[in-house]
Amino acid sequence: MGIVTQTAQLLLSLSLLVLVHELGHYWAARAFRTRIDKFYLFFNPWFSVLRAKRIDKKWRLSWLSPAPPKEMKGEVNRTEWGVGWLPVGGYCKIAGMVDESMDTEAMRQPVQPWEFRAKPTWQRLIIITGGVIMNFVAAIAIYAMMLFAWGTEYLPIASATYGYDYCQAALDNGFANGDAILAVNGEAPETLSSAVGKILLSGGNSLTLLRGGDTVRLTLPPDFAQQLLASGAKEFAQPRWPFVVEQVTGGSPAAEAQLQSGDSLVGFNGHPTPFFAQLSDSLQRSAGKPITLDLYRQGQRLAVALTTTAKGKLGVTLRSPLSFFKTKKQEYGFFAAIPAGIVMGTETLVGYVKQLKLVFTKEGARSLGGFGAIGSMFSPSWSWSHFWSMTAFLSIILAFMNILPIPALDGGHLMFILYEMVTRRKPSDKFLERTQTVGLVLLLLLMVYANGNDILRWLGK
């Protein structure tokens, strides 16, 4: 069910963001009396799931149709609204504009005053950037909504009393499980995420660590970020916490071994495993096998024998990791949440732009992912807070990627409009059509490459 939930969240999130983006173009175009021929959620090659048009004050609907019915074709001044069957985006077809529809025949007709190409450059610039602006504004609005509804809660590094467990790439470069990061390039980070940001994005390679009560200096190699990407690690580190039983499932191996709520598991087959990650790894490696667990119960050390499930499970729910830490929480009123949302959106955008430098490396290119990678970022169980956080983040990405000066993207159109404003010469429609084709081919190849990486990762290569 986890994959189904993640897929549902991905489709809902992308659908909302596509609507927001295209509505930005739509509203800007209508503000300058520019005609919109079609507005579609999802693409509709060969046929549409739904076509709708308001004619003579009545809505005319057509389901699963390859082309609009005659009555829809007869009314050219109304927008055709629709839902396509290919859920990889959407479009707002603006009259008199070379776009992804590649309607070259319409561009051969005389210029009409209600067309995009008839509008002055400053109006066309606003129409083109409307989608990007709407995505960024939407991200800020979502962040502000989240701060107002839930506030923020985070774990300061100083409160991670058991230290952190690190990925293999970090261990290979001098980290040790249990370390806490005290400083990066002389600055004390508040959270693990801020420390990781300084290390990977801001060139922080001189670290001060707390290791078993001692202060340790560590210098990371210049290619540490590339090593981390190449390793495929999902997390740089995670805080350590004890493996304490909260509840035992009836009929499980834990129930048969008479484990109880409050038991603190500290050993596996005679080896100390005081933290969750250590014991969890040991259980996975001994799936379906008889094992011995050491535990503390009301201050008394005990040993129990049992056989794990075929998936290496005991049949218990764990005490929440947050119960072992003192987190910091900040709540926001409605008016305070708005500027805080602006700051959060801006910092997210700046952080994402900094990450792009890693993409232009061999390891970064291999780490690119498509819909599978994006979907895996959503929670396997439905969480509105995580859903909205991911939606805001994706809205930032969509805004930035669309403003890049690549033909077929909004940034490509913007580039040619700025060229026209500076040189007072407009690129020919033929040139725009050709660059649009090149851009679409490049985007298609990039999509195939990114989703191909997903498939290779899924196959374990």
Are 382 and 449 in a shared domain? yes
Across the chain, mean pLDDT equals: 86
| Span 177-215, pLDDT tens digits | 989 999 999 889 998 988 988 888 877 789 999 998 889
CA end-to-end span of the chain = 25
pLDDT > 80? residue 102: no
Are 54 and 78 in a shared domain? yes
CA distance 59 to 203: 58
Question: Which of 324, 346, 370 is the C-terminal boundary of a domain?
Answer: 324
Confidence of residue 40 (pLDDT cuts 50, 70, 90): very high
Are 220 and 249 in a shared domain? no
| Span 212-265, pLDDT tens digits | 888 999 999 988 888 888 887 778 898 999 989 899 888 888 888 898 898 899
The pLDDT of residue 209: 93
Are 455 and 406 in a shared domain? yes
For β-strands 271-272 and 264-268, DSSP reports them as antiparallel
Average pLDDT for 12-32: 94
For β-strands 48-55 and 80-83, DSSP reports them as antiparallel
CA distance 235 to 227: 13
Residue pair 406/414 in contact (Cβ under 8 Å)? The answer is no
Quickly count: other Cβ atoms within 10 Å of residue 94's Cβ.
Answer: 27
pLDDT > 80? residue 2: no
Are 364 and 451 in a shared domain? yes
Confidence of residue 67 (pLDDT cuts 50, 70, 90): confident
CATH number at residue 296: 2.30.42.10
Percentage of residues in the chain having pLDDT higher than 70: 93
Owner of token pair 């290390």:
199
The pLDDT of residue 129: 94
The pLDDT of residue 283: 87
Quickly count: other Cβ atoms within 10 Å of residue 394's Cβ.
Answer: 20
Residue 40: which residues within 8 A CB-CB, separation 6 or more? 22, 48, 81, 82, 83, 84, 90, 91, 92, 93
CA distance 152 to 135: 23
The pLDDT of residue 13: 93
pLDDT > 90? residue 39: yes
Q: Of the given ranges (56-70, 173-187, 256-270, 443-457), which has the lowest mean pLDDT?
A: 443-457
Average pLDDT for 432-458: 77
Confidence of residue 457 (pLDDT cuts 50, 70, 90): low
DSSP three-state, residue 407: coil
**Domain of 196?**
157-237
The pLDDT of residue 75: 67
CA distance 2 to 376: 10
Confidence of residue 332 (pLDDT cuts 50, 70, 90): very high
Average pLDDT for 325-349: 92
Q: Which of residues 416 and 456 earns the better pLDDT score?
A: 416
Look up residue 158 and give its two tokens: 């100083």
Are 375 and 353 in a shared domain? yes
The pLDDT of residue 395: 95
Question: Which of 324, 351, 386 is the C-terminal boundary of a domain?
Answer: 324
CATH number at residue 175: 2.30.42
Are 58 and 93 in a shared domain? yes
The pLDDT of residue 106: 67
What is the domain count for the chain? Answer: 4
| Span 103-158, pLDDT tens digits | 666 667 788 888 898 999 999 999 999 999 999 999 999 999 999 999 988 889 88
Are 188 and 295 in a shared domain? no
Are 2 and 146 in a shared domain? yes
Q: Of the given ranges (352-356, 358-362, 440-444), which has the lowest mean pLDDT?
A: 358-362
0.85 surpassed by pTM: no
Are 294 and 418 in a shared domain? no
Question: Which of 324, 353, 368 is the C-terminal boundary of a domain?
Answer: 324
Are 128 and 274 in a shared domain? no
Average pLDDT for 160-186: 90
Quickly count: other Cβ atoms within 10 Å of residue 294's Cβ.
Answer: 19
pLDDT > 70? residue 79: yes
The H or E element spanning position 87 is strand 86-94
The pLDDT of residue 142: 96
> Buried b / exposed e across 266-288, counting CB within 10 Å, b at 16+?
bbbeeeebbbbbbbbebbeeeee
Average pLDDT for 54-60: 85
Are 165 and 270 in a shared domain? no
Q: Which of residues 457 and 275 earns the better pLDDT score?
A: 275
Average pLDDT for 23-49: 92
